[in-house]
Copies of this chain bind each other. A is one copy, B any other.
Amino acid sequence: MSAYARLVEKAAEVQLVADSQALLGWDQEVLLPKGGVSYRARQMAWFSGWVHEQTTSAQWGDWIAEAESEIVSPSVEESANLREWRYQFERSTKLSKEWVEEFATAQVEAKAIWAEARKQSDFDRFAPSLRRLVDLCKEEAEQYGYEDVNYDALIQKFERGSSTRRLTEVLGGLRTRLIPLVEEAVAREKAANPLEGMQFSIDKQQQLNREIAEAIGFDFDAGRIDTAVHPFCSGMAPSDVRLTTRYDESDFLSSLFGVLHEAGHGMYEQGLVGENRGQPIGSSASLGIHESQSRLWENQIGRSLPFWERWLPRAIEIFPELAGVTPEAMHRHVNEAELSYIRVESDEVTYDLHILLRFELEKALFAGELTVEELPGEWNRRYEEYFGMPVTDDAKGCLQDIHWSMGIFGYFPTYSLGNINAAHLMKSAMQVDGIAKDVGKAEYASLLQWLREKIHCHGATYFPDDLIKRATGSYSDPDALIEHLRTRYL
């Protein structure tokens, strides 16, 4: 057996076990009785340890090296697998044991302190923990290595092939054009909430959500929808992809948009090639690509007029209280723009400003241009610059997100990449024969088929930027997103 074949075989085994851990993780969020939490934590740790041991072993490294030398002219797929396996191996073996242990401890402590600090809107309390995490991540970047600036090494964890320079180019172009657009959009007159005072029972919401998820192409023979406090999607096997959502009995849109978003992630997972599971070519390309799929279905489709022309009548059958509402009113309602302090509560048009703010601050932190102590002041200054209103307290400002308390830096920009890629892909798809016509009738089979062929089936064969270029003919830029927002909001 060749070294490459051994890698393929072993990777499939490791994935099989990692997928079992994914079920344990899913179950923990969805079903686990509270008494079972500590034992589950020990199980999760066992799996993490086992998987880490397999993929950082000397033997695994030897196989990679052997495979690299034994394959003289690799196929595109072989080349991609070896590229990613090499990259992952280097990364996971470069970190010292001391660093891994210190980081794990720092994460646990910071998360607890952050929760308290946020509750009391007391940044000073969180500052030492955050400083420690930033320092550790700077060390991490040094251990990983980078070409240009240390922040590059962190970005690569989530967005292979990308860089600070590339993200600055893409996201920077977005900011300058987004600020005036936001100003105009939020100034529009607000309509009354057409759902005001209505009640929507959970079982009926579930019925509607399921019908819609099925209609857009989520395969229930290969997936489920369940309930969780924080909605997520877990693709835990080639034909077992599980979404979760949460319910608000006074607003069926909350669970529905949750389902549309997670179903976008889920259809991507369902579109990966099952027989390549465990290999990079059978895995998703990046967070920015994953998010493009969720945002496409949530925003580009779910907030469009044809969608509501098709689905409002069915919603009225299920919730007769909705009888007087028109598709136009629903369309307007789901596209109201409003300034807010909190990222996760913000709408499609303002969302990316929240991300851009964080991206700029992370860059400055890692470039040594901003200290942790200066962070709240700089957050507030920039927030006012972007949004035109002052931040009243840090709980609504730089303490709002959990990411930094977990030592996650370089992740935020992938949210905006998702929005940009979604619009870029959608614009391209709409130029394909038949797709625009179908989408105009709220029929999505041809759109999904296009995404399957252009994005899903390739897994991580190509770097995200190249994948988008192959799919659309051009690298992502913010043009399509700005155009889309302008059409929708102005």
A residues within 8 Å of B by Cβ?
Answer: 13, 16-17, 19-21, 23-24, 27, 31-36, 39-40, 42-43, 46-47, 219-224, 237-240, 274
Contacts and interface: CB of A to CB of B under 8 A. Distances in A.
Contacts of A33: 220-224, 239-240
Contacts of A13: 46
22 contacts: A13-B46, A16-B43, A16-B46, A17-B43, A20-B24, A20-B47, A23-B23, A23-B24, A23-B27, A31-B224, A32-B240, A33-B220, A33-B221, A34-B221, A35-B219, A35-B238, A35-B240, A36-B239, A36-B240, A39-B237, A39-B239, A43-B237
| A interface majority secondary structure | helix
Nearest to A50: B17
Contacts of A32: 240
A43 B19 contact: yes
A240 B24 contact: no
A47 B221 CA distance: 25
A35 B224 contact: no
Contacts of A27: 23, 27
A7 B95 CA distance: 32
A96 B269 CA distance: 42
Nearest to A36: B240
Nearest to A13: B46
A345 B33 CA distance: 32
Nearest to A40: B237
Contacts of A23: 23-24, 27
A384 to B, nearest CB: 47
Nearest to A219: B35
Contacts of A219: 35
A224 to B, nearest CB: 6
A318 B237 CA distance: 41
Contacts of A274: 39
Contacts of A43: 16-17, 19-20, 237
A222 to B, nearest CB: 4
A19 to B, nearest CB: 7
A31 B30 CA distance: 12
Nearest to A42: B16
Given A16-B43, A33-B223, A35-B221, 12 more contacts: A13-B46, A16-B42, A17-B43, A17-B46, A20-B21, A20-B24, A20-B43, A20-B46, A35-B219, A39-B238, A39-B239, A39-B240
Contacts of A39: 16, 19, 237-240, 274
A223 to B, nearest CB: 6
A27 B26 CA distance: 11
A24 B19 CA distance: 10
A469 to B, nearest CB: 32
10 closest Cβ pairs, A-B complex? A35-B239, A36-B240, A35-B222, A39-B237, A35-B221, A36-B239, A36-B237, A34-B221, A20-B43, A33-B222
A477 B424 CA distance: 78
Nearest to A44: B20
A210 B312 CA distance: 37
Contacts of A222: 33, 35-36
A284 B366 CA distance: 56
A27 B42 CA distance: 20
Contacts of A238: 35, 39
A263 to B, nearest CB: 14
Nearest to A17: B46
A108 to B, nearest CB: 21
